[in-house]
Amino acid sequence: MNKRYQVFISSTYSDLKEERSKVMQAIMAMDCIPAGMELFPAIDEEQFNFIKRIIDDCDYYILIIGGRYGTISDDGISYTEKEYDYAISSQIPVMTFLHKNIGQIPREKTETNPEVMKKLHVFQEKVKKGRLVKFWSDASELTGMVAISLMQTIKTYPQTGWIRADMTTSTESLQEINELRKQLAVLEAYKTKIEKEKILNSAIKNLAGLDKIIEIDDVAIHCDWGSRNRMEYSWKIEVTLKRIFEIVAPKIMSPSVKETQVRTHLMNVLFNQATKNNKLEHKDLYIPRMDISYLNIIKIQFIALGLIETYTERTEKGHIVSCWKLTEKGYTMMMQFLTLKK
């Protein structure tokens, strides 16, 4: 009876997207079913419990370690290491692949915090003890190693695997197939997302980074309702995209943050910065304005840089509103910029 084996791929996410994508393609080419944190790129304890159930459904486990330790849980251990520990405790055959030389990995894909780097080193030594590991230097080399190791492991440690629905009629097997289809749908959506990212990256040339300076020029309206005279105050500020991201990112950590709320928060902060050293009387009575064109420029740039995603929600009154949220890359970038350092 032909089987398809399900393989869990464990690693950090944003720094190993290319490697994960190629490994997934190699696994699918072997008629196996890849699974992993694509289900939940931004993970927490509740989602980790769900991922443990996915690991339980898998026949083999692949661990890929690059230059990052990963998102750390409340107990001080990264979710990547917790996944590995759970796979070991579940006695699933494990294949581990370590990067040959972290010093050759680009800085933005490595840990910069000495304490976190120490945790990564301890984790690396942990997976080496009593187990055979292989060392890789690039995505192509890694893909070949994974394919060979998986074939050898399947031969040496054959597992239960999955079978086609037309080869069994048990209710339990049909339920397993339906669950598998759901996971495949998620993976297909992830594949589509990766393809869109590649198209976007190839289409955009000379994309400005967060050090790009933009100028915002608008007015603030005096809101003294007892006066009939309309007073305006012109304000202007030159600010980097990095500073704008630092202002916006904490605001959109919560779900369902409307674009109008982002705009109001941003223009209030920028207005206060622009008038910080000005002797503007009754400053608190001025309501700043910021043309929507500025927000659109910022929004498009942040989307192109992979820092935010936009989506729509329906209000209680039935109106459709645009909302912002951080991507995993955006969340990581926010932590790098805004956390206190030693």
Q: Which CATH class is domain 6-203?
A: alpha beta
Q: At 40, is the pLDDT very low, low, confident or very high (cuts 50, 70, 90)?
A: low
Place of tokens 């945790």: 119
User: At residue 337, does pLDDT exceed 80?
Assistant: yes
Give the pLDDT confidence score for residue 42 in this predicted structure.
54
The domain segmentation of the chain, as residue ranges, is: 6-203, 213-338
pLDDT digits (tens, 9 = 90+) for 279-315: 777 788 888 999 999 999 999 999 999 899 999 998 8
Q: What is the pLDDT of residue 98?
A: 95
Strands 213-222 and 6-10: unpaired
Judge whether residue 200 has pLDDT over 70.
no
Query: What's the whole-number average pLDDT of the chain?
Result: 86
* Percent of the chain with pLDDT strictly greater than 90: 56
Q: What is the dihedral of CA 194, 198, 200, 205, to 10 degrees?
A: 150
Q: Tell me the H-state helices in 157-240.
A: 171-203
Band the pLDDT of 164: cuts 50, 70, 90. Answer: low
pLDDT at 269: 95
In this prediction, residue 224 carries a pLDDT of 65
Q: What is the pLDDT of residue 87?
A: 93
Is it the case that residue 41 has pLDDT exceeding 70? no
For the whole model, what pTM was predicted? 0.50
What integer is the mean pLDDT of 165-179?
64
Residue 316: the pLDDT is 83
What does the block give as tokens for 3?
Answer: 């089987």
pLDDT at 229 over 80: no
DSSP element (H, E) containing 64: strand 60-65
pLDDT in tens, 178-187: 777 777 777 7
| 166 pLDDT above the threshold of 70 | no
Q: Which two tokens stand for residue 228?
A: 């009939």
Tell me what pLDDT residue 203 has. 60
Class assignment of domain 213-338?
mainly alpha
Q: Is 7 a residue whose pLDDT tops 90? A: yes
| Nearest alpha-carbon partner for 126 in 93, 91, 80 | 80
Longest dimension (CA), the chain: 86
- State percent of the chain over pLDDT 70: 87
What is the bridge-based pairing of β-strands 286-288 and 257-258? Answer: unpaired
Domains 6-203 and 213-338 share a fold: no
Check residue 228 and give its pLDDT. Answer: 59
Q: What is the mean pLDDT of residues 24-46?
A: 78
Q: Provide φ and ψ at 60, rounded to 5°.
A: -140, 160
The confidence score (pLDDT) of residue 180 equals 76
The residue-averaged pLDDT of 46-51 equals 81
